[in-house]
């Protein structure tokens, strides 16, 4: 029996009770299999691998926890010195021979420090932009995993099954590669519906990519609600490569549903709320939290407490709602200097809550006090925070306004 990680085998009684004869036969077969790469002296791996940018990495360890293949190595200080890194800082490295290229680590990295060869965020964003370049309001976007969903789409095609031609399919190796920001930035370009399709649970080609995708899409639905987008505009489907007919039915049904909802209103597409939702999906805090959810559901917290899906959704909703207001404050302070009172009036929330957020943002170095006007201090976003917001809203929002009007 082979493991998900190449080069590890189980044989004989290690698998199940067996006679001596069967055990010896199985052991011989296993030894022959193992001898092939050993004799060759090298192993072959796909070119699709992850690469960690040590400059951006904040050593959170999430990628190592996410990877089902143990392909992310935590470099011990001695090994780091040998790699030329300062010894005090732990760093992370992808073992190329073990990496399968699913991209689940990249979609969850809080710092976007992981680049996927041939499936980088920039390449996927460019595909989203190209797919929605004309009249995005009349299209649907579908992220399909290479192994099952795309197989089902292919089967639907060769079986000559009819489904709406307005769907633009973006291939990803695994549904775990779908970064929550991809979905929200597609809405910011004016598309009325996004479908995320992957292998059936628990048959993910990459073991657990679809589990991570499920939790990430839960976060997207919460953020969509906060941004005033109906959760029905995002559909998550798990299907097998043999279900071409189901793929066609899902696309057709989803298309009818989003047609009933109509196009996304222009004020939603270009509004502050969607901008803040994208910033939330990009925030360290929520990305770290979502990355921990599968562990909390399966192994529990450090006290061994296992959480139900319902409890995890509640935790995620509370954290997202809190972060949403913080991001709105930050975006407003990027555009102009404001006092607590004016922010509270603009966002229609109580001044003490705004003050708490401002103090946290000042403490974390994202906001600074500029001057005192009358008796009120006024604040502005720090340059670094301004740049981060600028990069985000230059990409999806400006595209969204133009595309939505096309």
Please list the residues that pair with 183 across neighbouring strands: none
Note whether 197 and 172 are within 8 A (CB).
no
Please give the size of the binding site for ligand SF4, defined by CB under 6 A. Answer: 28
Cis peptide before 17 (omega within 30 of 0): no
Q: How far is the CB of 59 from ligand SF4 (least distance, A)?
A: 5
User: Rounded to an integer, what distance in angstroms lies between the CA atom of residue 26 and that of residue 144?
Assistant: 38
- Decide whether 139 or 287 has the Cβ nearer to ligand SF4: 287
**Considering the complex, what minimum distance in angstroms separates the CB of residue 212 from ligand SF4?**
9
Report, in Å, the least distance between residue 215 CB and ligand SF4.
15
Q: 369 with 379: CB under 8 angstroms?
A: yes
Between residues 57 and 169, which has the closer beta carbon with respect to ligand SF4?
A: 57
Q: Please tell me whether residue 207 adopts helix, strand or coil conformation.
A: coil
When computed from its CA atoms, the radius of gyration of the chain, rounded to whole angstroms, is 24
Q: Which helix (H) or strand (E) holds 369?
A: strand 367-373
Closest to ligand SF4 by CB, 57 vs 148, is: 57
Check residue 71 for interaction with ligand SF4 (CB under 6 A).
Answer: yes
Nearer to ligand SF4, 296 or 338 (CB): 296
Shortest Å distance, C-beta 66 to ligand SF4: 6
* Residue of 382, 354, 357 whose CA lies nearest to 367: 382
Q: What is the largest CA-CA distance in the chain?
A: 91
Cis omega (within 30 of 0) for bond into 202: yes
Minimum gap (Å) between residue 265 Cβ and ligand SF4 = 36
Between the alpha carbon of residue 239 and those of residues 146, 159, 166, 175, the distances in Å are: 12, 17, 21, 11
For residue 111, the minimal CB distance to ligand SF4 (Å) is 4
Nearest distance in Å: CB 121, ligand SF4: 13
**Range 313-372, binding ligand SF4 (CB under 6 A):** none
Minimal distance, residue 216 CB to ligand SF4, in Å: 14
Residues from 78 through 137 that contact ligand SF4 (CB under 6 A): 92, 94, 99-105, 109-111, 113-114
Nearer to ligand SF4, 92 or 238 (CB): 92
Q: Which is nearer to ligand SF4, 6 or 25 (CB)?
A: 6
**On the CB side of 213, how many CA atoms lie within 13 Å of its CA?**
34
Q: How far apart are the first and last CA of the chain?
A: 56
Cα separation, 264 vs 336, in Å, equals 28
Tell me: does residue 66 bind ligand SF4 (CB under 6 A): yes
Contact window for ligand SF4 (CB under 6 A) among 55-63, 119-127, 218-226, 353-361: 55-63
58 lies in the binding site for ligand SF4 (CB under 6 A): yes
C-alpha angle 108/112/118, rounded to 5°?
Answer: 90
Residues in the site for ligand SF4, rule: CB under 6 A? 50, 52, 57-63, 66-67, 69, 71-72, 92, 94, 99-105, 109-111, 113-114
């Amino acid at each position: 029996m082979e493991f998900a990680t190449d080069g590890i085998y189980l044989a004989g009684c290690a698998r199940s009770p067996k006679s001596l004869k069967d055990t010896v036969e199985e052991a011989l077969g296993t030894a022959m299999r193992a001898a092939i790469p050993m004799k060759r002296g090298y192993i072959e791996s796909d070119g699709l691998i992850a690469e960690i940018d040590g400059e951006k990495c904040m050593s959170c360890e999430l990628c190592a926890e996410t990877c089902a293949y143990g392909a992310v190595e935590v470099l011990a200080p001695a090994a780091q010195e040998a790699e030329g890194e300062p010894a005090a800082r732990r760093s992370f490295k992808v073992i190329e021979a073990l990496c399968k290229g699913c991209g689940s680590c990249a979609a969850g990295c809080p710092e976007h420090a992981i680049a996927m060869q041939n499936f980088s965020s920039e390449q996927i964003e460019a595909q989203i932009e190209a797919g929605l370049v004309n009249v995005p309001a009349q299209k649907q976007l579908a992220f399909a995993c290479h192994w099952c969903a795309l197989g089902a789409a292919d089967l639907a095609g060769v079986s000559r099954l009819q489904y709406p031609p307005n769907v633009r399919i973006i291939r990803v190796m695994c549904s775990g590669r779908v970064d929550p920001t991809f979905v929200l930035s597609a809405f910011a370009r004016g598309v009325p519906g996004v479908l995320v399709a992957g292998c059936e649970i628990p048959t993910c080609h990459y073991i657990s990519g679809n589990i991570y995708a499920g939790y990430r899409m839960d976060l997207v639905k919460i953020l969509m609600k906060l941004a005033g987008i109906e959760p029905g505009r995002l559909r998550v489907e798990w299907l097998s490569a043999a279900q071409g007919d189901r793929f066609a039915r899902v696309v057709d049904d989803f298309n009818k549903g989003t047609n009933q909802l109509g196009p996304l209103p222009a004020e939603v597409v270009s509004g502050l709320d969607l901008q803040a939702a994208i910033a939330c999906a990009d925030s360290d805090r929520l990305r770290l939290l979502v990355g921990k959810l599968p562990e909390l559901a399966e192994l529990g917290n450090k006290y061994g407490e296992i959480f139900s899906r319902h409890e995890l959704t509640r935790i995620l909703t509370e954290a997202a709602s809190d972060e949403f207001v913080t991001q709105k404050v930050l975006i407003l302070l990027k555009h102009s200097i404001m006092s607590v009172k004016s922010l509270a009036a603009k966002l229609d929330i109580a001044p003490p809550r705004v003050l708490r957020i401002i103090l946290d943002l000042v403490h974390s170095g994202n906001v600074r006090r500029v001057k005192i006007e009358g008796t009120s201090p006024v604040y502005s976003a720090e340059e670094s925070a301004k740049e981060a917001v600028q990069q985000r809203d230059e990409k999806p929002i400006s595209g969204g306004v133009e595309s939505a009007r096309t």
